[in-house]
Structure 1
Amino acid sequence: MPVTTRLATLADISQLNELIALSVRGLSRGYYTPTQIESAIKYIFGVDTQLIIDGTYYIAEAENVIVGCGGWSKRNTLYGGDQHKEIEDPLLDPEYDAARIRAFFVHPDYARQGIGRQIINVCEAAAVSAGFSSFELGATLPGVPLYKVMGYTAVERIDAPLPDGEVLEIVKMKKG
């Protein structure tokens, strides 16, 4: 099954939010509790429209079906969608800062078929073209194995408190 990538557009947001919820519910079981999953979908996981506006968010499609998404950022935010941010993201300096690898989600029916890896390769190449030489991300627990295989190293465990009292474990990882 050939998978192609393209830049996401604002018109894709509703389909992306559906994919994100489906991905989190399907791939986070066994890593997080059901209440953590639902809380994270409500308060953290969602589309970050700034990535789409910046032209750094990609969609993976197979047979005209969105099977994955992910991006990179030249801005400071490490993780989270629009609902998780309160202010505009300041720009990073590629000479000193690491590009952020952001918001990776794969449809559960297409998991472990190389889609996440394909999107990461596209993102890293684009970030290098923009002058970045290192990368940083906030990984969910189900994403850690993929990022490790892609050369990322865990550097910090972050307990992200959510407004309803739930806490979501995130792993800060770096490469380069």
Structure 2
Amino acid sequence: MPLTTRLATFADIPALNAMIVLSVRGLSTAYYTPGQIESAIKYVFGVDTQLVTDGTYYIAELDGKIVGCGGWSRRNTLYGGDQHKEIEDPLLDPKQDAARIRAFFVHPDYARQGIGTLIINVCEAAAKENGFTSFELGATLPGVPLYTVMGYEAIERIDAPLPDGEVLGIVKMGKPA
């Protein structure tokens, strides 16, 4: 079966969260310490259910197996799952704000096979259809090379402090549509 994409549902969330943990643990070791990885899993990385509610979070499947996920948002949050925010995000104005490219993770067994690129292309097309003319994202360090190849440029480095004292390096990136 070919690689396919579809919108995520609430029934997918347990499988997505499990895949996200595998992705972070499998693909982040060259960029973050074990302490940063475990802290980020606990406090930052996971499904943002607002994306599922908004119908802007996609799953990539190969032979019926979830091998990647990612989304876009018309809301203000730049990165992080439900555990990283406390309130519903305010809506962005597509005439003046950049759509957010959000929550990208690829199963480590399927990394570097075009899955992230496919999902980014789906998300950017959907954001353009909704009137957005630019994109921003909060890239983890392992994601920076992919986003750079996709035309994103670094805007600023964010050292995000986590509740247990760890600090997670994030790169805010952007590009025009």
Q: Compute the displacement of 1:121 (Å).
A: 0.1
CA distance in 2 between counterparts of 1:46 and 1:133 reads 27
Q: Which amino acid aligns with 1:59?
A: I
| Structure 2: unaligned runs, 5 residues or longer | none
**Large movers: runs of 4+ above 4 Å:** none
Q: Which residue is 2:93 aligned to? A: 93
Percent identity reads 82
| Structure 1: unaligned runs, 5 residues or longer | none
Q: Which residue is 1:50 aligned to? A: 50
Q: Which residue is 1:75 aligned to? A: 75
CA distance in 2 between counterparts of 1:70 and 1:60 reads 9
CA distance in 2 between counterparts of 1:105 and 1:2 reads 19
Encode CA deviations 1:33-54: one digit per residue, 9 max, x unaligned: 0010000000000000000000
Q: Which residue is 1:139 aligned to? A: 139
Encode CA deviations 1:121-171: one digit per residue, 9 max, x unaligned: 000000000000100000000000000000000010000000000000000
Q: Which amino acid aligns with 1:166?
A: E
Q: Which residue is 1:103 aligned to? A: 103
The alignment's C-alpha RMSD in Å is: 0.6
Q: Compute the displacement of 1:87 (Å).
A: 1.2
How does the TM-score come out when normalised to structure 2? 0.99
The total of aligned residue pairs comes to 176
How does the TM-score come out when normalised to structure 1? 0.99
Q: Which amino acid aligns with 1:87?
A: I
Q: Which amino acid aligns with 1:93?
A: D
Q: Compute the displacement of 1:86 (Å).
A: 1.1
Q: Which residue is 1:29 aligned to? A: 29
Q: Compute the displacement of 1:88 (Å).
A: 1.1
CA distance in 2 between counterparts of 1:113 and 1:155 reads 27
Q: Residue 171 of structure 1 aligns to a residue in which SS?
A: strand
